[in-house]
Structure 1
Amino acid sequence: MRLMSYCQRRLPLAALLLTLAACSTPPTPATYALETPKLDLQQYFNGTLDAHGIFQDRSGKVVKRFTVVIRASWAGETGTLDEDFTYSDGSKQRRVWTLRKTAPGRFIGTAPDVIGEAVGEVAGNALRWQYVLALPVDGTLYHVDFEDWMFLMDDAVMLNRAAMSKFGFSLGAVTLSFSKRPQAAP
């Protein structure tokens, strides 16, 4: 009898938790379609930008800090983001992205250390950027899944949060703040 009473008391709680879990779907870019300011990727990533970031391991510990100088330009529907990274340990890295607009709000990107193509979608003030990066760690190259969410805060500032995973398991996160340098008057 006690077991039956216990189960009857816990059943509503279990049903509620299952219902909440079923209702919690991850956001899509469309979730932010009405948010402002509207992100125009070709306009924002045009000129020189500075970024400051951290990498946190899955426990939340900051294990690396870095800065990035990005020189960005567009020729029609094709953009180039030339990124120079400087890490807190003094090491440096360069990544050159080639972006291509494929449809309104949709972009494809490639870079030498990106496996295949990155896929991006813009809606409202947000960009979701998904790709696999060949990441060197202690002499071994790992293919790591990245899901970046970038949010335009104003004309100059964009925030980026990237989740890193492998086989569905979290490896950590990267947080960046982009600042667009003012354009020189012609």
Structure 2
Amino acid sequence: MSRRALALLAPLALLPGACVSTPEAAAPIARAEAPRFDPFVFFLGASRGEGTLDKVLSDPVTVRVESRGRIEIEPHHEASWDAADTRVLVLDQTVTEGDKRPRKRQWRLIEIAPGYYEGSLTDAIGKVTGRSEGNRLVLEYRMKGGFQVRQELTLWEDGRRAANVLKVSHLGVTVAVLAEEIVRG
């Protein structure tokens, strides 16, 4: 977003109605300890997502995401002989937002401690951080233009579906919300 556009949107941030709110149907699953959300299991192989993206001053648009996940093993580069190799979840995605041309992006995540993740996303500036809390996976990163992104993915009991609520904020104001259902297979 250009500085001019941000300057035009800034006064709207002072109005309560200028924020995008999370749709009530976006969080249909309560947080639970089981099943545990393990992104290395859920995103292995094919998955697809479909949802609605609401942006400030825009009509809602449908978003479709086709994903293919795989595990890569990276050798440990430190001088320790007993250091384990690193498992990397690589998730290749094709994202279609409304009538726009599909775009490709890639996630790369490693588990740095039990339930804690770091990695990269082609859309992100800097690193992606994440944590698994029972059936919920929370991912956070920054995007170009100073936008902060927080995704909360909640695994359904069947382990094959997840609800994804992605919120984009700027200067503490929510400017976009994606409510999506992701299905494995």
Q: What is residue 169 of structure 2 aligned with on the other side?
A: 165
AA partner of residue 144 (structure 1): F
- Kept in 2, the 8 Å contact 1:106–1:122? The answer is yes
- Kept in 2, the 8 Å contact 1:114–1:132? The answer is yes
Deviations 1:64-88 (A, max 9, x none): 2121110001124211010001222
| Alpha-carbon distance between aligned partners in 2 of 1:162 and 1:86, rounded to the nearest angstrom | 16
Note the C-alpha offset of 1:172.
1.9
- Residue 75 of structure 1 aligns to a residue in which SS? strand
AA partner of residue 34 (structure 2): T
Q: What is residue 13 of structure 2 aligned with on the other side?
A: none
Q: What is residue 42 of structure 1 aligned with on the other side?
A: 40
Match among 142, 148, 151 for residue 132 of structure 1? 142
Match among 40, 64, 89 for residue 67 of structure 1? 64
Q: What is residue 96 of structure 2 aligned with on the other side?
A: 86
| Alpha-carbon distance between aligned partners in 1 of 2:35 and 2:97, rounded to the nearest angstrom | 31
- Residue 128 of structure 2 aligns to a residue in which SS? strand
161-170 vs 85-94, which moves further: 85-94
| Structure 1 runs, 4 residues or longer, greater than 4 Å off | none
TM-score by length of 2: 0.71
Higher relative contact order (CA 8 A, sep 6+): 2
Identity %: 23
Deviations 1:91-134 (A, max 9, x none): 21111111111110011120222110010000110011111123
| Alpha-carbon distance between aligned partners in 2 of 1:112 and 1:119, rounded to the nearest angstrom | 14
Note the C-alpha offset of 1:90.
4.2
AA partner of residue 176 (structure 1): E
1:95-110 to 2 correspondences below 5 Å: 95-110=105-120
TM-score by length of 1: 0.71
- Kept in 2, the 8 Å contact 1:132–1:145? The answer is yes
In structure 2, list runs of 5 or more residues that go unmatched: 1-29, 74-86
In structure 1, list runs of 5 or more residues that go unmatched: 1-30, 135-141, 182-186
1:21-36 to 2 correspondences below 5 Å: 32=31, 34-36=32-34
Note the C-alpha offset of 1:58.
4.2
1:179 aligns with 2:177: no
| Alpha-carbon distance between aligned partners in 2 of 1:121 and 1:81, rounded to the nearest angstrom | 17
Note the C-alpha offset of 1:62.
4.6
Note the C-alpha offset of 1:48.
0.4
Larger radius of gyration: 1
